[in-house]
Amino acid sequence: MSSKSTPDIYNLNRFITAQENIYEIALNEIKLGKKHSHWMWFIFPQIAGLGESEKSKEFSIHSKEEAHEYLRHPILGKRLKLITKTLFTHKGKPITNLFEYPDNLKLQSSMTLFSKVNNDKNDLYFQVIKTFFDGKYDDSTLDILRNL
Domains of the chain by residue range: 13-146
Q: What angle do CA 83, 68, 98 make, to 5 degrees?
A: 25
Q: How many helices (H) and strands (E) does the chain have?
A: 10, 0
Per-residue pLDDT of 44-81, as tens digits, reads 999 999 988 999 999 999 999 999 999 999 999 999 99
CA atoms lying within 13 Å on the CB side of residue 102: 11
Please give the Cα distance from 26 to 40 (Å, whole number). Answer: 9
CB-count burial class (<10 Å; 0-12, 13-18, 19+) for 132: buried
pLDDT value, residue 1: 45
Instruction: Supply the DSSP string of 54-75, one letter for each residue.
Output: HHHHHT-B-SHHHHHHHHHSTT
**Amino acid letter, 75:** I
Q: What is the mean pLDDT of the chain?
A: 94
- Enter the CATH code of domain 13-146: 1.25.40.380
Q: Which helix (H) or strand (E) holds 91?
A: none
Mean pLDDT of 9-25: 97
pLDDT value, residue 2: 42
Mean pLDDT of 86-101: 98
More confident call, 2 vs 141? 141
Mean pLDDT of 10-39: 98
Mean pLDDT of 103-118: 97
Is residue 30 predicted with pLDDT exceeding 80? yes
SS3 49: coil
pLDDT value, residue 119: 76
